[in-house]
Amino acid sequence: MKLIIKPEKGFGKIEVELSEGLWGELKSLSERYGVPVERIIEIALTGEFREPRGNLEELERKAKELEEKTWELEREYAPLRFKAYGLSEDNKILAIELSGLVAENSQLKRFLGLKPERNPELRKLISYYLQG
């Protein structure tokens, strides 16, 4: 792998040939910490390392425990989210049907010569369920 480092200003550039092993290490560090490979190389070249405060193994263990708890909660609440989505879709369908019935009701009142009544609360409720 060929690495080319260009300065922000000027024409000078540095070309370095990286072995496959080193490139693999850089790639794994990039994936592990969620940082682009370019940033890892920049940190390595500038010596911008931070010393961890506290016991690193203890912090990693705590992070792993929190991740496990997160997945437990995810497994617990996933069925509830699915049911909530289903209810939301049912509410949309009912709101569409209700809107049609309100329109039909107002047409029948006009046909019978009655004054159609406006119901703003019902319209707000219908629009709420159609949006959400």
Q: Tens digits of per-residue pLDDT, 71-119?
A: 999 999 999 999 999 999 999 999 999 999 999 999 999 999 998 888 8
d(CA 79, CA 73): 11
Residue bearing the bigger pLDDT, 66 or 2: 66
Residues 68 and 119 occupy one common structural domain? yes
Residue bearing the bigger pLDDT, 51 or 21: 21
CA distances (Å), origin 128, targets 94, 99, 100, 131: 12, 12, 16, 5
Range of the structural domain that residue 121 is part of = 56-131
Residues 124 and 60 occupy one common structural domain? yes
In contact, 126 and 95? CB cutoff 8 Å? yes
* Rounded average pLDDT over 52-70: 88
Give the total number of structural domains in the chain.
2
Q: Looking at residue 26, what is its pLDDT?
A: 86
The verdict on residue 7 lying in a domain is yes
pTM: 0.48
